[in-house]
Homo-oligomer: A and B are copies of this chain.
Amino acid sequence: MLLNDDMTHSLARDGLTVSRAHLLWELHHRGPTTQRGLADALDVSARNITGLVDALAGTGFVTREPHPTDRRATLVTFTRHGEATARAMERDQQEFARLLFDGMPAQRFDCFARGLDDVLARLREGSLAAAPEVSRD
C-alpha cells in the first residue's frame, strides 16, 4: 500500500495506525486469513500479528473466527465496519494515483513508466549482487 502524509493522517482519524492499515489492506486482498498467513504476508513475527489483531478486534475492524478444519488456527475476518474502511482505503489509493497521473500526456507517461521499469529492474538485480555495505574502519 502506498501512503502519503495526508493518508496517514486520515488513518489516525479513523483510529488506525500504518501497521494496522497494512493488515487490513492484506485482508482486503486475500479474504479471511489465518494469523500465520498474515505474518508471512506482512513479513513480521506471529507475536506481532497477535498484537495487531488484538487492537483491530478491540476497535471493531475485525473478528477472530474459528478455522473450519484446523482447530489450532483462527481466521481473521472483517466486520462490516472493517470491510467498509478497507474499501474506502482502496478508493483513496485510486484517487491518489489519479492525482499523480491524470491528464499527463501519454508520451510523457510512457516515457516515465519505461524509465521507472528500468530503475526497478536495476534495483531488483543489484540488491542481491552488489549489496551496498557500510564500510567499517
Report A28-79 residues with CB < 8 Å from chain B CB. Answer: none
Are B134's CB and A92's CB within 8 A?
yes
CA–CA, A88 to B135, complex, Å? 6
* Chain B residues within 8 Å of A116, by CB: 112, 115
Are A137's CB and B81's CB within 8 A?
yes
Report A99-137 residues with CB < 8 Å from chain B CB. Answer: 99-101, 104, 108-109, 111-116, 118-119, 122-123, 126-127, 130-137
Question: Chain copies in the assembly?
Answer: 2
Q: Main SS of chain A's interface residues?
A: helix
Are B123's CB and A112's CB within 8 A?
no
* Chain B residues within 8 Å of A127, by CB: 4-6
Q: Contact check: which of B85, B88, B91, B118 meets A104 at CB < 8 Å? A: B118
Q: Contact check: which of B85, B99, B132 meets A95 at CB < 8 Å? A: B132
CA–CA, A102 to B13, complex, Å? 43
Are A132's CB and B100's CB within 8 A?
no
- Looking across the interface, which residue of chain B has its beta carbon closest to that of A80? B137
What is the minimal beta-carbon distance from A126 to any residue of chain B, in angstroms? 4
- Looking across the interface, which residue of chain B has its beta carbon closest to that of A7? B132
Are B84's CB and A132's CB within 8 A?
no
* Chain B residues within 8 Å of A19, by CB: none
